[in-house]
Amino acid sequence: MGPPGEVNWPGISPDGKTVAVYRTDPQTGTSDVWLYDVLRGSSYRLTSHPRGLSIFPLWSPDSAYVGYSSDWQDPSRLYRKAASGAGGEEVLFESQPPIMRADDWSRDGRNLIGETGNAAGLGNLWVLPLSGDRKQYQFLHSEFREMQARISPDSRWVAYVTNRTGRNEVYVTSFPIAGAQTQISTSGGSLPVWSQDGKELFYLGADRRLMAVAVKAGSPFEAGIAKPLFDVRFSASTANTSRFDVAKDGRFLIPVEPQATAPQAMIAVINWTAGLKR
């Protein structure tokens, strides 16, 4: 996917045609957003900033835009740009804390959810409406860290990670206003991702195995018992700033730990259900 360099934060476009990542140049240390055309096997650079980090890409629900965080102009800002590359970038929000990223874009197109924090990494979750006055509001805020939010396909729930129990665990709460919180993982968990139909949650277990949990949206929200799928070799250096994604056909797109001096690579796990049945 483009020239050599670390590839991270993969996101499959809702139409399934394009993958967004950010790449870090090993010479300059700068990062930019790249798009990979799945059908043509070609890649192109969406951002070309002279300095700083343009990272954490995410797709609009119509696959027309890519949102991302960038500090190439102080302070850090949240931008969006047409996936076609046409036109300039639009500032969606300007952040005062040194750490800011958008985690997900709701399928109904109405809201972004993300996290802010400080240099120590302590954070909380916010929501940014994309219509009206675009006034950001706190979604979850506590003395603990809330992070890695992913909105359900029906835009009614949010899966996220918090360390409120003393270690990272996956929880679900209502959206766009937080309500009762349902714990999903029980032995450590991070990087939650919804299945395309919203009936399953996947997350990375503490033992670096990908886990699957059947869920049922209702009052209350119900979650089944987590089942291991397969081992995942996320890079230890990027475990807190990485993610994976799930395509409509059930395939996983995962950034894996590089071999020796090779750059970070991507793998697609195709027939993962066969491993679950064994």
Task: Tell which wins on pLDDT, 258 or 94.
Answer: 94
pLDDT number for residue 94: 77
pLDDT number for residue 249: 87
pLDDT number for residue 276: 41
pLDDT number for residue 207: 87
Are 137 and 180 part of one and the same domain? yes
Paired residues of 11 in beta bridges = 20
Are 157 and 187 part of one and the same domain? yes
pLDDT band (50, 70, 90) for residue 216:
very high
Residue 150: in which H helix or E strand, if any? Answer: strand 146-151
pLDDT band (50, 70, 90) for residue 229:
very high
The arithmetic mean of pLDDT across residues 101-119, rounded, is: 89
103 domain-assigned: no
User: What percentage of the chain reaches a pLDDT higher than 70?
Assistant: 84
pLDDT number for residue 277: 43
- Residue 39 identity: L
Task: Tell which wins on pLDDT, 231 or 238.
Answer: 231
Helices (H), the chain: 272-277
**pLDDT at residue 214 tops 90:** yes
251 domain-assigned: yes
144 domain-assigned: yes
The arithmetic mean of pLDDT across residues 10-37, rounded, is: 92
**pLDDT at residue 2 tops 60:** no
pLDDT number for residue 185: 96
pTM over 0.95: no
CATH number for position 4: 2.40.128
> How many CB atoms within 10 Å of residue 90?
12
| Average pLDDT over all residues of the chain | 85
pLDDT digits (tens, 9 = 90+) for 168-177: 999 999 999 9
DSSP 152: -
**pLDDT at residue 252 tops 50:** yes
**pLDDT at residue 39 tops 80:** yes
Are 154 and 85 part of one and the same domain? no
Are 183 and 254 part of one and the same domain? no
pLDDT number for residue 253: 87
Are 224 and 242 part of one and the same domain? no
Strand blocks (E) in 27-145: 31-37, 42-45, 54-59, 65-70, 77-82, 90-94, 99-105, 111-117, 123-129, 137-140
106 domain-assigned: no
Are 147 and 182 part of one and the same domain? yes
104 domain-assigned: no
User: And the tokens for 16?
Assistant: 């399934």
pLDDT band (50, 70, 90) for residue 110:
very high
pLDDT number for residue 142: 85
Are 243 and 161 part of one and the same domain? no
Are 132 and 30 part of one and the same domain? no
Are 157 and 265 part of one and the same domain? no
107 domain-assigned: no
pLDDT band (50, 70, 90) for residue 144:
confident
Are 116 and 218 part of one and the same domain? yes
- Residue 173 identity: T
**pLDDT at residue 79 tops 50:** yes
Which of 8-17, 48-57, 200-209, 252-261 is predicted with the least confidence, judged by mean pLDDT?
Answer: 252-261
Q: How many Å apart are CA 131 and CA 7, to the nearest integer?
A: 32
pLDDT band (50, 70, 90) for residue 258:
low
Say if CB 113 and CB 158 are below 8 A apart: yes
Are 87 and 141 part of one and the same domain? no
User: What percentage of the chain reaches a pLDDT higher than 90?
Assistant: 56
Say if CB 48 and CB 59 are below 8 A apart: no
Are 223 and 127 part of one and the same domain? yes
105 domain-assigned: no
DSSP 246: E
> Residue 220 sits in which domain range?
112-230
Number of domains in the chain: 2
CATH number for position 205: 2.120.10.30
